[in-house]
Amino acid sequence: MKREIREKLLLADLPEQTEGDYINLKIPEHLEPRCLGYANMFADLEICSNALDKLEKSEDEIITNALFTTIIISYGRCFTDSSSSKTPKLEDKIFKNNPDLENLHKDLMEMRHNFIAHRGFSDHSVGKAFLQISPSKMQGSIKVGHLFTNNFSVEELPRYKALFDFTMLEIRKKFSKAEKHIVQEIFKDLKPGDLKRLVITDYPQ
**pLDDT string in tens for the chain (205-residue length):** 566 666 666 656 656 566 666 777 778 788 888 888 999 999 999 999 999 999 988 889 899 989 999 999 999 999 987 666 678 999 999 999 999 999 999 999 988 888 776 565 566 655 577 778 878 877 888 877 655 567 788 888 999 999 999 999 999 999 999 999 888 887 787 776 776 667 765 544 4
**Distance between CA atoms of 43 and 168, rounded to whole angstroms?**
9
DSSP 8-state symbol, 108: H
> What is the chain's percent helix, strand, coil content, to nearest 5?
60, 10, 30
The pTM for the full model equals 0.77
Q: Which helix (H) or strand (E) holds 39?
A: helix 32-57
Contact 127, 144 (CB under 8 A): yes
